[in-house]
Amino acid sequence: MLQFTNTLGHKLEQFVPIKEGEVRLYTCGPTVWNFPHIGNYRTFLFEDLLKRYLKYRGFSVIHVMNLTDVDDRIIKVCNEKGVELGEFTERYARAFFEDLNFLRVDLADNYPRATDYINEMVVIIQGLMRKGIAYRGEDGSIYYSISKFPRYGELSGIKPNELKVGARVRVDDYGKDSAEDFALWKAWDANDGKIFWETQLGKGRPGWHIECSAMSMKLLGEHFDMHTGGVDNIFPHHENEIAQSEGFAGKRFVNYWLHCEHLLVNETKMAKRLGNFVTVVDLRERGVDGATLRYFLLSGHYRYQLSFSDNSLEQASGSVRRINEFVSRLEDSLKSSKDEGSSLDSDTAMLVETARARYVSALDNDLDAPDALAVVFDLISEGNRMLDRGDLSRRSLEAFLEFMRKDFDSVFAVVSTLSDESLGELESRLLEERKAARRAKDWKTSDELRNRLLSLGVEVQDTHDGQKWRRVSKTR
Ligand code: AMP
Ligand code: ZN
């Protein structure tokens, strides 16, 4: 039975979609004002694991992830640097998609940008004003009156600060001690410079929280299955989203809320403002491959904090190597195996079947990745012993491979030798040139060649045994 811990109610709940066989999933995406750090990617990869597992369990998933391309921070930087909003955010949006590719993320069906949904936001705000839930302050901005929404605080367990009735918060992100009326629409002021929209609400720009209500309801409907983010999104962002969406539509917004705990460095949350962050590009430049980083970020249970260190990356690299060596051994043995048409021996059948059942029950239990990985490594140990003895039939080798490919790698996506195809002439040449560049420690050329190969649909990884590659979808 598939179960998740629902932040709304703090209970482990059986997952039942609204429409049989289909899951509508909204995940809060990056603010494109900077290169995301690997803490951000911990949350995005948890979402990737969730989605891939839902697909593995037979659901079709409709996945939307927004890009926040206007907020307080973006406006401030654009005005300081004197750059156009669109030009500024586009650069970081592109970098984000490169990272997703590097980390083997199964792309969402839609990546809407907040600035393309201003009209939808205006409609919701007008609806809230008509219902008397939103009001215009004397500064011309429009605020959400949290006292008009009795369930305010249900998600985060926070009690609105009764002492400050009518108090308002205008900034996008704030702490729990400011559970006050929050801005839906901010009237233009000189600090906004050239960044504003002329709408029926006046000249101004949206607050941060309204964008996710507008984009999720437009693209997934007013009531959908799942909404996720990092734990810091619970308050105020998701609490406010519920208030806006349910206040407007008058019905339940989302059934399951899932939140990923933080990635830490030296026991502190990794965060841009603390300066203790590492980006994907930083690690790429150090030669860390996508599968290793992906494995590390997925190896902890999403509801527990995870600590980043060089040592943790080395361990992840060792685990990925062990997995890939096992798959290569199976593939090589299969190629040289002569016993055509032999049957699956009952020991192997039982071993793989038991592993599969344990693997599924671990992931069914609130996506327990560490438990599922322990099952996989037990199977690898046993499989390696059997390979050492050389007593695996062709069908038995195939049974192991099927588990590693279909059950394990469709969800974790870290295996690098899945392709039986050979490389084309150009691809082989680029790979050889890259090998030479790396030998000469010419990292710039090596990176350029990696990107060139990626654009041709060949992802290269640097392992202890040299370059490995696999086919991926072509980048633009
Ligand atoms: P932002 O770009 O700031 O909107 O953040 C994007 C996502 O990353 C949000 O879902 C955050 O909750 C999440 N996030 C931010 N910092 C961390 C961290 N240190 N560990 C895990 N997730 C994080
Ligand atoms: Zn959001």
Q: What is the per-residue burial (b if ≥16 Cβ within 10 Å, else e) of 276-307?
A: bbbbbeebbeeebbbbbbbbbbbbbbbbeebe
pLDDT given at position 345: 83
pLDDT given at position 179: 87
The confidence band for 132, taking pLDDT boundaries of 50, 70 and 90, is very high
Comparing 12-16, 35-39, 174-178, the range with the smallest average pLDDT is 174-178
CB neighbour class for 50 (10 Å; exposed up to 12, middle 13-18, buried from 19): buried
Sign for the CA dihedral angle at 359, 362, 367, 370 comes to: negative
Domain range summary for the chain, segments of one domain joined by +: 18-134+194-281, 325-412, 425-471
pLDDT given at position 474: 57
Of the listed ligands, the closest to the CA of 209 is: 2
Give bridge partners of residue 31 from the DSSP assignment.
68
Residues with CB under 5 Å of ion ligand 2 are 28, 212
> In Å, what is the CA distance from 27 to each residue of 228, 240, 436?
5, 15, 41
For the stretch 194-206, pLDDT in tens is 999 999 999 999 9
Return the residue whose CA atom lies nearest to atom 7 of ligand 1.
40
Bridge-based pairing of strands 181-187 and 142-144 is antiparallel
pLDDT given at position 462: 77
User: 18-134+194-281 and 325-412 share one CATH topology?
Assistant: no
Whether the CB of 206 sits within 6 Å of ligand 1: no
pLDDT higher at 141 or 161: 141
> Averaged over 261-279, what is the pLDDT?
95
Residues with Cβ within 8 Å of 218's Cβ and at least 6 positions away in sequence, in order, are 112, 117, 120
pLDDT given at position 473: 54
Residue to mutate, 49, 70, 209, 232, ligand 1, most ligand atoms under 8 Å from C-beta: 232
Give bridge partners of residue 26 from the DSSP assignment.
64, 227
Q: What is the CATH number of domain 325-412?
A: 1.20.120.640
Does domain 18-134+194-281 match CATH 3.30.1340.30? no
Atom of ligand 1 nearest to the CA of 263: 20
Whether the CB of 145 sits within 6 Å of ligand 1: no
> Averaged over 57-73, what is the pLDDT?
97
Whether the CB of 300 sits within 6 Å of ligand 1: no
Residue 476 has pLDDT above 50, yes or no: no
> Averaged over 140-149, what is the pLDDT?
95
pLDDT given at position 424: 85
pLDDT given at position 127: 98
Residue 468 has pLDDT above 90, yes or no: no
The confidence band for 418, taking pLDDT boundaries of 50, 70 and 90, is very low
Structure tokens at 274: 């603390």
Structure tokens at 356: 């599969």
CB atoms within 10 A of CB 440: 10
Structure tokens at 357: 């059942």
Residues with Cβ within 8 Å of 429's Cβ and at least 6 positions away in sequence, in order, are none
Of the listed ligands, the closest to the CA of 42 is: 1
For the stretch 97-122, pLDDT in tens is 999 999 999 999 999 999 999 999 99
Return the residue whose CA atom lies nearest to atom 9 of ligand 1.
230
Pairwise CA distance, residues 292 & 294, whole Å? 5
> Averaged over 223-244, what is the pLDDT?
97
